[in-house]
Amino acid sequence: MNKRIFSPGEFCIFTQKSVWIFPAVAPAEKRGGAGTARTARNRRTENMKQVLIVVDMQEDFIFGSLGSKEARSILPAVRKRIEDFRAEGGSVVFTRDTHGEDYLSTREGKYLPVVHCVKDSQGWQIAEGLFKDGDKIFDKPAFGSPLLAEFVREEGFGRIEMIGVCTDICVVSNALLIKAFCPEAEVCVRADCCAGSTPEAHDAALETMRCCQVEIL
């Protein structure tokens, strides 16, 4: 059986005895315009219970021992996104990388021998101006937090938006965990509010998440 484009707007399937001609179906964006598709998606989103997860926006990852210019550069965008999300009535949840004084003797410490985010230290704190009393925080000793993913599932969030650092470590780890726990939820990552350990790692992580059906905004 052979298949080829027959004429604009049609395609044909040829067999030894027959020819079938089918009209091509245009994507939603072309049938009703991109604005129509966005409007439909926005309408669905308005009816969903939503949460914004702010991943590891801590002093050590921005200004401290593992800080980077990329992390510092997204801080204004992260702050604005949190403010806008709260104004829209959504829930805001934070994760906080959390280690003990024995960090260097742990498996992670052997791979990354840079002390960071030790509990109750200045570097462990969430950057000023992001957290608000009443926001939920998940302290996590590893990259991903099963407790966070379980919380998202139990709360029945239909749309989960994620921002923060590092795109290629804790953002991707938690995005894929949540995707596994909540396969029917809409999981998305806002690229301009994330920073990776390097720009190249950031881009690679976004592509990995896109391949796993995480929407990249």
Can you tell me the distance from the alpha carbon of 29 to that of 27, in angstroms, rounded to the nearest whole number? 5
User: Which CATH code, of 3.10.129.10, 3.40.50.970, 3.40.50.850, 3.65.10.10, is assigned to 49-216?
Assistant: 3.40.50.850
Please name the amino acid found at residue 101.
E
pLDDT digits 0-9 by tens, 17-26: 555 554 554 4
* 44, 109 Cβ separation under 8 angstroms: no
pLDDT digits 0-9 by tens, 157-216: 999 999 999 999 999 999 999 999 999 999 999 999 999 999 999 999 999 999 999 999
DSSP state of 58: B
**Torsion on CA atoms 188, 191, 196, 199, rounded to nearest 10:** 140
Can you tell me the distance from the alpha carbon of 167 to that of 169, in angstroms, rounded to the nearest whole number? 6
The CA-atom distances, in angstroms, between 43 and each of 12, 39, 48 are: 36, 6, 9
The CA-atom distances, in angstroms, between 125 and each of 96, 106, 121, 130, 137 are: 8, 21, 7, 11, 11
Element (H, E) at 74: helix 69-87
pLDDT at residue 31 greater than cutoff 60: no
pLDDT at residue 11 greater than cutoff 80: no
Report long-range pairs for 149-154 (Cβ below 8 Å, ≥24 apart). 149/174, 149/177, 149/178, 149/180, 149/181, 149/182, 150/181, 151/93, 152/51, 152/53, 152/178, 152/181, 152/182, 152/185, 153/181, 153/182
Per DSSP, what are the bridge partners of residue 95? 55, 138
Cβ-based neighbours of 213, under 8 Å, separated by 6 or more:
179, 187
Please name the amino acid found at residue 1.
M
pLDDT digits 0-9 by tens, 123-167: 999 999 999 999 999 999 999 999 999 999 999 999 999 999 999
pTM, whole model, 2 decimals? 0.80
* Share above pLDDT 70 across residues of the chain, in percent, rounded to a whole number: 79
